Structure 1
Amino acid sequence: MRALVQRVTEASVRVDGQLLGEVGRGLLILVCAMEGDDAAKSKALAAKISKLRIFTDDAGKMNKSLVDVGGAALIVSQFTLAADTSRGNRPGFSAAAKPDIGRALYEQFIADVSALGIQTATGSFGADMAVNLTNDGPVTIWMDV
């Protein structure tokens, strides 16, 4: 699985103007299931993100995790993270999992993050979403498992 993780002071997602999810201090996690991914990769990605030390401690060093600071996660599906831009000007997305598998792994990832005691909010799989965020730092990290 692939994720783009952004440390935020706030983030929200809307569909057709309706608020679906929002968080304060925490992470915006854009997540994509890739061909060949399974529940074990979802669980591994959730664990890795939950322990990622990208929040500052009292000395101003990035030394604390999302769990350490009691932050929340806004989890949004984004198949475009699978983009292949190696040829031409139009990205290809064949590396993304098929929609039925992608949806199941997106839901599994949400459950895996929640099971770690992290408050979660979500977007809507496959929807045209408007995501707003205030990136803190900015801190943005690309992750593959």
Structure 2
Amino acid sequence: MSPIRHCSRGACKNPAVATMTYDYKQATAVIGPLSPVPLPGAFDLCVDHAHSVTVPVGWQMIRLKTEFEPVPPSTDDLTALADAIREASRKEVPPPKPAQREIRRTAVDISATPRPRPRPRFSVVDGGGEEDSDANQPHNLTPVSDEEG
């Protein structure tokens, strides 16, 4: 039977026997016995890594225990796990439901015939006081009316 918790270091697959926690505010690392449950931000370490781990320069290392024994699997943990699996297998699985998708669009009547968009009205504005040789020349502009299509 394999142990439930392994060493947190890289590729190490040895069983965890100690837990290391950090206190950044006090620049302290503490290594003690393996915590009963995995803690967020803590590292579970094997015997080798619990004795060889180092801390950054200026930090203090506190070891609460110098000899770490492997923790045997608890029969309480195994019994609780077996009971949870047994209980989950007894529950009836509900049939799958199709996914529901809610579509939100503006209310537009697509059956109505589309109205033509109004044409923009442009007008020519005289530039004012600019005296240009082209200013006295007639422009070839043709008026556009809404009736033309």
TM-score range, shorter chain: under 0.3
Between Structure 1 and Structure 2, which shows a larger proportion of strand residues?
1
Higher relative contact order (CA 8 A, sep 6+): 1
Q: Normalized against structure 1, the TM-score is what?
A: 0.25
Larger radius of gyration, structure 1 or 2? 2
Which protein is richer in helix relative to its size?
1
